[in-house]
Structure 1
Amino acid sequence: MSEVSTRGAMLHPHPWRVFAATSIGVIAVFVAMSGLTVALPTLSRELDATPTQTTWILLGYMVVTTALILVFGRLADIVGRRPLYLSGLIVFTLASALCIVSQSAEFLIVARILQGVGAAAVVTNNTALLTDTFPPHLLSQALGWNATVAALGQIIGPVVGGAATALIGWRGLFVAVLGIALIATVSSLLVIPRSVGRIRSREPFDLGGALLATTLLTVVVLALTPGPGSAAWLPWSYAAVGVIVAVVLVVVQRRRAHPLIDLTLFADRGISLVLLAGLLTATATYAVALIISLYVQAVDGTSPFVAGLLVTPVAAGTVIAASAAGWLVTRIAPRTLAASGMVLNTAGVLGVALVLSADGSLPVTALFLFLIGTGIGLFMTPSTSVLMLTVPAQRRGIANGMRSTLQNVGNLLSTAIVVAIVPIGLGAAAQQAAYGGSPAAFDAAELNRFVDNLQLAGVVLGALSAVGIVVCLSFPRHQMPTPQETAPVPEYATTKESA
């Protein structure tokens, strides 16, 4: 029989089953996001999408998902987590079907935005449901594995996207996503009981904060991706508007009794550093797959399937390192382990940028991609552990939700940085060729400029990763207890001390 936790929810007698069911939903969400990086050139050609349309097919999903994570986090507290999570899965599934039948770039952008709405509800409530389901002594472990599953979903996305595109075209990606989403929906309906996530808050919903946060993210993306032929002043205007909206958002959130964004978390230096490191990791590593995909398809004319396979070393490195990190974190200070991961990330990203050229060595590139994956795997577990050790137990769900939000912000910024740098100095036809994977459409000068731009994007991401090393070394001095030092805890202990 389930027991009531100190968080007010019913503990599930088999919490890892809930974890397994929700993990399928998380994988679907992140495959839909990252899988498009290798399917994008084929999609762009077949739908005759402009560079701006191609950019928003990729970014529209990410902007909406990132903006709505905190919104749905608050709504879940009001209407219940399980209903909103399942509703998100249903919306995501239906939107994936709409992506499959899209006949124009405009229709696909709308379908992707709708898909992003469902994805936001899934990502947000996945974390909340785990917080409600797991007993206190297992929560940190579950949230750490949850972060790892999200990272793996992002990494296997290009492989799934490449294989599906090679088999049945770009729509194959969304067929695969639809299948995963259906499995997630059915398994969640069967495994997650109605008793989980039923707590409802009487606190009012911060509509103003939601609108400001959404506006801020949209303006930031518009500033980074103004589109070909835009006036030189336009990005600066968007940036100025973004600064104003950010200031207003902070002022409004500080004055709200029940704000959308809990700014008090950032008052703790340790929490702020961990969240910043997570943001930098995502920003530095996420769009490397996009850089590789654009390069091998637009320069070498490589197929989407091969392009997807080329990033598999990242997945291999992440799996190996994440498996080892759970053991290493009890023997090495978490901040040292996290910083080591960031060192590998930096070396890998800069290495990819340096070897990327018209006659670059793919085996060497694969080695650098493996370093990136290893760095991600080493960073995830210790950074999550530091966060859980720093945050009071009753605020771990909120803190992990903020971590998830900033990770998605990092993914969005990473992609926006790359798509902002790629078209620099290229004409409209060359930009179309870059996104459409058409090597024959480049002249020699434009091809060299395109490769230089990809390398510059890699260097920018690598520089951000280098900043992350310093941030990780500034983490609080926590040392995880070894198994021998940890006293046995009853599996469903629900005392006040464990809250």
Structure 2
Amino acid sequence: MSHRAAPHTSASYDHEAVSDCAAHGEEETVNKLRGNPWAILTVLSIGFFMTLLDLTIVNIAIPDMVGHLDASLDQILWITNAYTLALAVLLITSGRLGDLNGKKNLFIYGVALFTLASLACGLSQNPSELITFRAVQGVGAAMLLPQTLSLVVDVFPTEKRGVALGVWGIVAGVSGAAGPTVGGLLVTKLDWRWIFFVNIPLGVICVIGAVILFPAPVRTVRHRFDVPGVVLSSVALFLLSFGLIEGEKYDWNGWIWGAVAASAVVGGIFLLYQRGQQDNEPLVPFSLFRDRNFTLMNFVGIAISFGIVGLFLPITVYLQSVLGYSALKAGLVLLPLSVGTFVTAGPAAVLADKVGAKYILMTGLTLFGGGLAWIMAVADVGRSWTGVVAPLFIMGLGTGCTFSPMATEVMRNVPPKLTGAASGVNNALRQVGSVLAGAVVGAVLQGRFASALKDQAAQRAGDVPAAYRRSFVQSFDGARKHLDVAAPDAGPRVPRNTPPDVAHRVQDAAGAVFGHGFIDAMGPTLLVSVGVLALGVVSCLFVVKFKGAPANPHGLPLSDEEITAAGTAV
């Protein structure tokens, strides 16, 4: 009996030993990864990817949302805008909170909130619920987004920072460009709710990775939080964003202009207040803007926002409503944009250090603007999707040339104690640029489209029987001010007793009016973004090539003495 017990005891001992060794090995592996810059970058990229993906993924799901939620057009617009608005308003505040309370903490809290809000968005039963949870999503995104670029700068030494920012740039470019493609696949194969559910596993992985791998948070600022600055900046950004988003809906009436004017007044008060706080931990350190490249890169970021919004808003309607593609096919047609971005994002970061960021940025902005102009030339009713593949790929190449060099230059001279504030300011201005771009591009598209519908209806009235021509033309006089992808169905309604052949001719004519009218409006709309991108190219001419060591050469946390010295230098 004892003879049989011995092997059992021995086997149990061996099993426990193996388990202990395995546990020790796993713990050793985790310890090696904890604080590893590349492991941290991987986690940051997942969080960054989710937030930027959600800026563009919703657009292509709008038709499905309209049908399933019985949402009005105004509600659909707010489903998109609530996210952008919350993101724009809170970015500067969140960036500064990261400096104060630890970027690791803000990143984890932001990802957790974003993930829970994504689950709530997917479970929403009516438009009001979805709008509310989209706003909460924006709050979570605002908490985590400034920490990504800031942490990359903090944890990577100078010699490796260019490559790291190249990866960051790839994620930035691909995530936004991939939104319509991923969204189209999810909507077609599953359901619109899955454009939100897809964030849940990514968010869980991200939170776990951050908790395990990120080093303990280090407070690089040991003074008070600028509460008045937070309130003033948030009110100013909210009033500006709200006015721009709602302006077209209310015909830019008095109270809309009042909101914009109030934003300017509050913004002025904020700047005056900040001027008096520069020696007392301000929310926006003015010293950041003494660096010419920091200021110019922020304008370039706004120009890129105009290019992206200027593309996605009209191209989504063009592919689905004019060419009649499904959400999946429209998303696949836009795939070359992501491919082009992936091709150039990495090399752009390396070339920027060798030949100068200004030249890479100028190349990228030129390619992006050239691609938009190319689409203007080839887009037409009845054209094949093959006509837009090459310009979309060219635009992707251009996008890939912008994010990494821009991120490198905007953060190059920022002292370690201000990286969170600088990242927050940069991201906030880019999101305000997106809101501004949406308002301007949307206003031009809607205004030109309404005019083009009337002109096209008058030209094509001869295609319908004489008895129906007057009502046909009049049906387009009150063209809707806001577009959606169901717009082709908004043509004239023929009486039920209308002969089938006549009803068919009227509907065919109405479809032609919509298609050609949209093409007529699409050209001037794209031209707006081309113009802003051209201004971005010109601004790059004034970028100075950096000489000497960067402000934070090692990317390491500073001691109290170094913090004091950095504060004095600032």
TM-score range, shorter chain: 0.7 to 0.9
In structure 1, runs of 5+ residues without a counterpart are: 1-10, 482-488
Give the 3 Å change call, closer, same or farther, for CA 125–328 of structure 1 in structure 2.
Answer: closer
Aligned counterparts of 2:269 and 2:481: Cα–Cα separation in 1: 38
Corresponding residue number in structure 1 for 2:46: 24
Return the match for 2:525 from 444, 452, 457: 457
Give the 3 Å change call, closer, same or farther, for CA 89–385 of structure 1 in structure 2.
Answer: closer
CA displacement at 1:368 relative to structure 2 = 1.4
SS of alignment partner, residue 543 of structure 2: coil
In structure 2, runs of 5+ residues without a counterpart are: 1-32, 451-475, 492-509
Corresponding residue number in structure 1 for 2:335: 312
For structure 1, which segment, 18-27 or 419-428, has the greater mean C-alpha deviation from structure 2 after superposition? Answer: 419-428
Return the match for 2:214 from 192, 197, 200: 192
Return the match for 2:259 from 238, 260, 271: 238
Return the match for 2:124 from 94, 102, 124: 102
Give the 3 Å change call, closer, same or farther, for CA 394–188 of structure 1 in structure 2.
Answer: closer
CA displacement at 1:24 relative to structure 2 = 0.7
Corresponding residue number in structure 2 for 1:377: 400
What one-letter code is carried by the residue in structure 1 that aligns with 2:269?
V
Give the 3 Å change call, closer, same or farther, for CA 14–56 of structure 1 in structure 2.
Answer: same
Instruction: Summarize the alignment of residues 52-67 of structure 1 with structure 2, pairs less than 5 Å apart.
Output: 52-67=74-89
For structure 1, which segment, 461-470 or 439-448, has the greater mean C-alpha deviation from structure 2 after superposition? Answer: 439-448
CA displacement at 1:200 relative to structure 2 = 6.0
Q: Deviations over 1:279-329 (max 9, x none)?
A: 212222244123211222222332111121122111111111112213422
What one-letter code is carried by the residue in structure 1 that aligns with 2:425?
M
Return the match for 2:232 from 196, 209, 212: 212
What one-letter code is carried by the residue in structure 2 that aligns with 1:324?
P
For structure 1, which segment, 445-454 or 335-344, has the greater mean C-alpha deviation from structure 2 after superposition? Answer: 445-454
Assess if the C-alpha contact under 8 Å between 2:323 and 2:382 holds in 1: no
Q: Deviations over 1:253-279 (max 9, x none)?
A: 212232212222112323211221122
Assess if the C-alpha contact under 8 Å between 1:140 and 1:384 holds in 2: no
Aligned counterparts of 2:402 and 2:149: Cα–Cα separation in 1: 19
Aligned counterparts of 1:123 and 1:103: Cα–Cα separation in 2: 28
Q: How many residues align?
A: 480
Corresponding residue number in structure 2 for 1:156: 178
Corresponding residue number in structure 2 for 1:274: 297
Instruction: Summarize the alignment of residues 304-453 of structure 1 with structure 2, pairs less than 5 Å apart.
Output: 304-391=327-414, 395-396=418-419, 398-424=421-447, 426=450, 431=480, 434-442=483-491, 443=510, 444-453=512-521
Assess if the C-alpha contact under 8 Å between 1:433 and 1:439 holds in 2: no
For structure 1, which segment, 211-220 or 290-299, has the greater mean C-alpha deviation from structure 2 after superposition? Answer: 211-220
Assess if the C-alpha contact under 8 Å between 1:329 and 1:382 holds in 2: yes
Assess if the C-alpha contact under 8 Å between 1:34 and 1:157 holds in 2: yes
Give the 3 Å change call, closer, same or farther, for CA 84–330 of structure 1 in structure 2.
Answer: closer
Give the 3 Å change call, closer, same or farther, for CA 390–353 of structure 1 in structure 2.
Answer: farther
Q: Deviations over 1:446-487 (max 9, x none)?
A: 554444333332111111001001011111034899xxxxxx
In the superposition, the TM-score normalised over structure 1's length comes to: 0.86
Give the 3 Å change call, closer, same or farther, for CA 357–270 of structure 1 in structure 2.
Answer: same
Aligned counterparts of 1:187 and 1:166: Cα–Cα separation in 2: 31
Corresponding residue number in structure 2 for 1:111: 133
In the superposition, the TM-score normalised over structure 2's length comes to: 0.76
Aligned counterparts of 2:382 and 2:107: Cα–Cα separation in 1: 47
CA displacement at 1:217 relative to structure 2 = 2.8
Return the match for 1:469 from 527, 537, 541: 537
Q: Percent identity?
A: 28
Corresponding residue number in structure 1 for 2:142: 120
CA displacement at 1:108 relative to structure 2 = 0.6
Assess if the C-alpha contact under 8 Å between 2:85 and 2:242 holds in 1: no
Assess if the C-alpha contact under 8 Å between 2:35 and 2:213 holds in 1: no
CA displacement at 1:237 relative to structure 2 = 2.9
SS of alignment partner, residue 483 of structure 2: helix
Corresponding residue number in structure 2 for 1:165: 187
Assess if the C-alpha contact under 8 Å between 1:52 and 1:227 holds in 2: no
Aligned counterparts of 1:39 and 1:31: Cα–Cα separation in 2: 13
CA displacement at 1:211 relative to structure 2 = 2.6
Give the 3 Å change call, closer, same or farther, for CA 475–59 of structure 1 in structure 2.
Answer: same
SS of alignment partner, residue 329 of structure 1: helix
SS of alignment partner, residue 402 of structure 2: helix
Aligned counterparts of 2:265 and 2:555: Cα–Cα separation in 1: 49
Aligned counterparts of 2:420 and 2:224: Cα–Cα separation in 1: 19
Assess if the C-alpha contact under 8 Å between 1:355 and 1:361 holds in 2: no
Query: Superposition RMSD on alpha carbons, in Å?
Result: 3.1
Assess if the C-alpha contact under 8 Å between 1:421 and 1:457 holds in 2: yes
Q: Deviations over 1:204-263 (max 9, x none)?
A: 222332233233333333333335454644443333223223222221221223221222
What one-letter code is carried by the residue in structure 1 that aligns with 2:390?
L
Give the 3 Å change call, closer, same or farther, for CA 361–302 of structure 1 in structure 2.
Answer: closer
